[in-house]
Amino acid sequence: MNHGNGSDWEALRRAMVEEQIRKRGIRSPRVLEALARVPRHLFVPEDLIEHAYEDRALGIGERQTISQPYMVAAMTDYLELQGAERVLEIGAGSGYQAAVLAELAREVVTIEKNGSLAESARARLAALGYHNIRVEIGDGTLGWPESAPFDAILVAAAAPSIPPPLVAQLAEGGRLVIPVGQNDQQMLMRIRKLGNEISEEKLFPCQFVPLRGAYGWPDLRE
Ligand code: SAH
């Protein structure tokens, strides 16, 4: 493969969108276009670049992963973004999911607990020209109160239960998409805030790295 040729990557990306995402039932043109635009190969470690458009999660260092393309697309789709939203992501990792969200919403705040991942995500997103994303370092299970409320919240790591601060920081009509459950398998959930009512939907089983922090799993290294 010729890494210098941008059209090779674009062809791989189009195939990814068609085979892994559209054929599996995600039909929103806006979501498909966002996935076709974001250069995923620039978000993975250089030694894995050849695998960037494969149908799987990849290691990004610090024992963390960039999610499988289909998972990024499905979670994004469930947020129902129209373009004017303020979005919160927990678990910036490589910054890839944040870039996809930034293609579809007005503003994205993404929180990353790991300082070195946060720094590289910040540098990468700035180099790619994403001016509507802010990468913050902290415990995302607490949300980001000073920027709340959010129209949509996406949690990219597995929580033992739904962190109350995230529900509290949802705007009226807001959606929260989050994997909830034990280490080996979780259920992807969507929470919706409508007036005083909170609705909960089970979407599908999934597997994520653990969410650590005050409303996450304890960090065994601490
Ligand atoms: N969305 C990322 C993948 C995230 S992997 C991408 O597109 O590449 C999950 C990330 O959540 C890891 O980087 C991990 O460090 C982070 N994380 C775990 N617990 C967290 C917390 N409480 N607050 C913020 N980030 C957290």
Q: Which of 166, 171, 43, 165 lies closest to 102, judged by CA? A: 43
Instruction: Give the structural domain span for 145.
Output: 6-206
pLDDT band at 221 (very low <50, low <70, confident <90, very high): low
Residues with CB under 6 A from ligand 1: 64-67, 90-91, 93-94, 96-97, 111-114, 117, 139-141, 156-157, 209, 211-213, 216
* Contact assessment for residue 43 and residue 90, using Cβ atoms and an 8 Å cutoff: no
219, part of any domain: no
CA of residue 158 to ligand 1 center, whole Å: 9
- C-alpha of 120 from chain center: 16
Q: Which residues are catalytic?
A: 67
**Average pLDDT over every residue of 119-131:** 98
Its pTM stands at: 0.96
Is the residue at 107 inside a domain? yes
The Cα–Cα gap between 167 and 174 comes to: 9
Q: Write out pLDDT tens, residues 70-89.
A: 999 999 999 999 999 999 99
Per the prediction, the chain carries an average pLDDT of 96
Per-residue pLDDT, 5: 64
pLDDT classification of 2: cutoffs 50, 70, 90 = very low
* CATH number of the domain within which 56 lies: 3.40.50.150
Give Cβ neighbours of residue 75 (< 8 Å, ≥ 6 apart). 67, 97, 154, 156, 177, 188
Q: Is residue 67 part of a domain?
A: yes
Task: Please tell me the predicted confidence (pLDDT) of residue 183.
Answer: 84
> In angstroms, what is the span from residue 208 Cα to ligand 1's centroid?
10
- pLDDT tens for 44-64 read 999 999 999 999 999 999 999
- Cα(125) to centroid of ligand 1, in Å? 16
In a domain, 217, yes or no: no
Residues 99-123: what's their mean pLDDT? 98
160 lies in some domain: yes
